[in-house]
Amino acid sequence: MSNKTTFTTLLLLIAIAIDLTYCYSALEDSRLISEYRKQLRDTSKYAKVARTLVHDADWASVGTISTDNNTLDYPTVNVISTDDNDINGKSTGRIHFLLTDLDFTGKDWKHDNKVSFLYTENQTGKCKARGVDPMEPTCARTLITGKVVEMDKNSNEYVNALTAFKQRHPSATKWMKTHTFYICELNIRNIYVLNFYGGPHNVPVEAYYSAVLNY
Ligand SMILES: *[C@@H]1O[C@H](CO)[C@@H](O)[C@H](O)[C@H]1NC(C)=O
Ligand SMILES: *[C@@H]1O[C@H](CO)[C@@H](O)[C@H](O)[C@H]1NC(C)=O
Q: What is the pLDDT of residues 92-106, one digit of tens each?
A: 999 999 999 999 999
Question: Are residues 64 and 108 in contact, defined by beta-carbon separation less than 8 angstroms?
Answer: yes
Instruction: Indicate whether residue 125 lines ligand 2 (CB < 6 A).
Output: yes
Ligand 2 atom nearest the C-alpha of 125 is 14
Sequence-ordered list of residues with C-beta below 8 angstroms from that of 185, at least 6 positions apart, any chain: 94, 95, 96, 149, 151, 161
> Residue 42: what pLDDT?
87
Query: Is the Cβ–Cβ distance between 46 and 190 less than 8 Å?
Result: no
| pLDDT tens-digit profile, the chain (215 residues) | 456 665 556 555 555 555 555 566 888 888 889 988 988 888 999 999 999 999 999 999 999 999 999 999 999 999 999 999 999 999 999 999 999 999 999 999 999 999 999 999 999 999 999 999 999 999 999 999 999 999 999 999 999 999 999 999 999 999 999 989 999 999 999 999 999 999 999 999 999 999 999 87
The pLDDT of residue 15: 53
- In DSSP terms, 4 is beta-bridged to none
Assign residue 72 a region: left if phi > 0, alpha if psi is -120 to 50, beta otherwise?
beta
**C-alpha to C-alpha distance for 60 and 119, rounded to whole angstroms:** 5
Q: How far does residue 122's CA lie from ligand 2's centre (Å)?
A: 6
Residue 161's pLDDT is what?
97
Q: 83-88 contacts: CB < 8 A, separation 24 or more?
A: 83/58, 83/161, 83/164, 83/165, 83/168, 83/169, 84/54, 84/55, 85/55, 85/164, 85/167, 85/168, 86/160, 86/164, 87/160, 87/163, 87/164, 87/167
Residue-level pLDDT at 22: 56
Identify which ligand lies nearest to the alpha carbon of 120: 2
User: How confident is the model at residue 20, as a pLDDT?
Assistant: 54
| Nearest-CA residue for atom 5 of ligand 2 | 133
This prediction has a pTM of 0.84
Is the Cβ–Cβ distance between 91 and 51 less than 8 Å?
Answer: yes
- Provide the pLDDT for residue 4: 62
**In this structure, which residue's CA is closest to atom 7 in ligand 2?**
128
- Residue of 119, 127, 138 to mutate, ligand 2, most atoms within 8 A of C-beta: 127
- Ligand 2 pocket mutation, candidates 59, 121, 122, criterion most atoms within 8 A of CB: 122
pLDDT at 206: 97
Query: Number of C-alpha atoms within 13 angstroms, CB side, residue 211?
Result: 28
The residue among 50, 93, 87, 57 whose CA lies nearest residue 186 is: 93
